Amino acid sequence: MPDPEHAFPPADIEAFYRLVAARRDVRNRFRPDPVGDDLLTRVLTAAHQAPSVGLSQPWDFIVLRDRAVRERVHALARAQQDVFAASLPRSRAAAFRGLKVEAILDTPVNIVVTCDPTRGGRHVLGRHAQPQVALYSSVCAVQNLWLAARAEGLGVGWVSFFNERELAAALELPAHLQVVAYLCVGHVEAFPTAPELVLSGWARQRPLALAVHDGKWGLRGLPGADPASLLADTVAAIEPPDGAAIAQARERQEHLTKPSGSLGVLEDLSVQLAGLAGECPPPLPEPAVIAIFAADHGVHAQGVTPWPQEVTAQMVANFLASGAVVNAIAEQAGAEVCVIDVGVIAELPAAPGLLPRKVRPGTADMTTGPAMSRQEAERAIEVGIETARDLVAAGNRCLVTGDMGIANTTASAALVAVFTGAEPGEVTGRGTGVDDETWARKVDVVRRALARHQPDPADPVGTLAAVGGLEHAALAGFVLGAAALRVPVVLDGVIACAAALAARALAPEAVHCLVAGHLSTEPGAGRALTALGLRPLLQLDMRLGEGSGGALALPILQSAARVLRDVATFDSAGVSGAKE
């Protein structure tokens, strides 16, 4: 309940929350009408009333109306947009070209919000330990300005496609000032009903429940609500395919200008995608992203591979430098590559494209004890769930599994053996190409680990903890997260297939989001796919991993959806069908 002594009247409270919900980052449908001086002054007054560290008020507002100045700024923004577009995967670049990302010349006035981090001298209260709070204070002023403008019926668009120093020079700012925000302000024909990036499909909004932590990071729960379990909530959100959409897709396939069934598996894929999405035709599974989960394995100490353990970290660096096989195939397929450190022993330096999510530095040797604790397995699963959620929120409509971890095929063989009931010798492969002696040692290692732990396939978290890898647990969560969001997942090789078995054990309906990209030569992959009821799209005698086989299958999956959406029907094309 609001504090009756200090709260605003109920109507004012309701109006405030409506205002917050209605604020939009506007880029389209501005009108050329001038913004009156009185109106602009009221908005700037609201901005100037923002809180600031030590009441330093480090902001200034530069009001730009001169078109020549704005044209110079516009040229800087366009140049940075071109740089950004060139960095994007092909499907993302195509989507970006369809977005309007600034209204510098469309609005009658631009406002530049700057920050003077030196204002007030060296003894500003609260700034000495955290000098960056001067910038944060200026952002508070931006938010006040934005809300006041919306209340007055003005649209505001924040343009961030700038090199900040180039923009400061173009505006002839003193060297000690920093540009915090470049805002385009004007009257609009109408405000969008939702954020423009949501309406365009570029991104999704993140639920509040995922952003609130109770007392400790990771303990999610809204105030007053029961503590949330990311794993349990995700599993509960996974539902069967939509039967009506499946029926519509099958019926539509029969009316396309082709003989019935002539596209074979492509037709089945399109029906699967429709059932998953709950609509026919389904959205195209693009943009796509390959998520490479990387971790090390304690079982490496048993001599199951001739490759040194440090190769894991070295290959992560190779992925980030776009020098690996998966990078080349992803470039061809128009997909993004993202690397998640869920358990690499080495400390990896920060780099674009790297998500630091380390649960622990590698697993323990599963022949001498559990690979990880149950709590660590759950944390790794949740890393995968969060990664899926974040990548989908960023606008991706298809997820591809990738992996990196020297000795991870040994853990994969153990997992496949547990979940399928196969003998270790039937599902243990040669990984990177080991000789007969090393293969025999590898089989013995898997057999000894299973004998020691006696993992129960009905307890998938316990099984992952006993004999799995951190990347296996994260990949299982990745599948669960995608299934809950009804987004397709293309599986790569044996590591992903082993993880998918664990995901199915946690949530049987999760299999409906899975597409088998290819059949790895690792024997455990075929056994796992059979158990999952999946038919691989490709069989190219590959066993590399990384996400390479999944990336190769992407165009097939995308073609299946495009055929269902774009091919004409007999009626629409005026083509006669087969006579009955």
Q: Which residues are catalytic?
A: 546
Contact 199, 449 (CB under 8 A): no
Distance of CA 541 to the CA centre of its chain: 30
Q: How far is CA 405 from CA 285, 309, 316, in A?
A: 28, 8, 9
* Residues 6+ away with beta carbon under 8 Å from 86: 93
Q: Find, among 484, 471, 477, the residue nearest to 547 by Cα.
A: 471
Instruction: Say whether 188 sits in a helix, a strand or coil.
Output: strand
Amino acid at 251: E
CA distance 166 to 240: 53
Cross-strand pairs, 178: 115
Tokens 């025999």 -> residue? 440
Sign of CA dihedral 447, 450, 456, 459: negative
Contact 431, 330 (CB under 8 A): no
Helices (H) and strands (E) in the chain, counts: 22, 10
Contact 123, 47 (CB under 8 A): no
Tokens 């496949």 -> residue? 416
- CB atoms under 10 Å from CB of 172, counted, come to 7
Report DSSP state, residue 580.
Answer: -
* Residues 6+ away with beta carbon under 8 Å from 200: 95, 98, 99
Return the structure tokens found at 359.
């649960």
In what side-by-side order are the strands of the sheet with 288-295?
A: 354-356, 336-343, 288-295, 398-404, 489-491, 514-516
- CB atoms under 10 Å from CB of 107, counted, come to 28
User: CA gyration radius for the chain?
Assistant: 27
- CB atoms under 10 Å from CB of 234, counted, come to 26
Report DSSP state, residue 36.
Answer: P
Contact 175, 143 (CB under 8 A): no
Long-range contacts, stretch 88-92, CB < 8 angstroms, 24+ apart: 89/287, 89/330, 89/331, 89/334, 89/335, 89/336, 90/334, 91/286, 91/287, 91/288, 91/334, 91/335, 92/287, 92/334, 92/336, 92/395
